Structure 1
Amino acid sequence: MTQHVRSDCGMVECKKPTEMFEDNAACIDQLKDGYIKGDRIKHILPKSFFTHDLQKAGEVQVVQVRSSDNSADLFTKSLPTSTFRRLTHQIRVRRLDDLQ
């Protein structure tokens, strides 16, 4: 699927799987070992298992990242100033003053 998006956008196709960074160990275990069928997840919609299906097909590779290095936290959490600056630098966001 990811290759289809790349080709439609005119990007070079890549043969390696898309890396998905995750900081939740329980989520990574479920993706790698398969979802446990039980009473606690029986109400989850089947579309929620899409990521698991992509990983089984070899299109997505889940990589564990420490919570302190998770750049997605910039958009979802209130962070200390030092962490905020480090993560914005990590995703190459610069202040206008720094560019001149």
Structure 2
Amino acid sequence: MDKAHPASTPMIGRSLDIMKDPFRPKDDDEEVLGAEIPYLSAIGALLYLAQCTRLDIAFSVNLLARFSSEPTQRHWNDINKESDIPYSEIPNDILVGFADAGYLSDPHKGRSQTGYVFTIGNTTISWKFTKQTLVATSSNHSEIIALHEAV
């Protein structure tokens, strides 16, 4: 990690082109990492951080955890990227909520992602990120599905 460089976002950009997506499953010409690479240990440590203190990395860590059975060097490189997301100062008595739906967050299965987070001050009190159960045909459709599934 001494050669890692902090990024302004916790995840690299994705592409709707399945062959250009850095989070695609293992290609036929890629080799699976050996036991000497602590992929599962790194995922476990990052999942702990995502659950306890670094909600901003939860989506990307859960995405990388999907490849635990066949991790490649590409996935390992994504784990080794650090994030440095600054948080703004919000008074402790204000409840703030954010919700969004990402169209085609998983282009391999045709599913969109829905998520919300509620905070009081700098403390997360409730959050959820999940794949939508229905296949959306547009970004507007994914927002409607998110509204329907939230009820």
Please give the TM-score of this superposition, normalised by the length of structure 2.
Answer: 0.21
- The higher-RCO structure (CA 8 Å, 6+ apart) is 1
**Is the helix fraction higher in 1 or 2?**
1
Q: Computing the radius of gyration over CA atoms, which structure comes out larger, 1 or 2?
A: 1
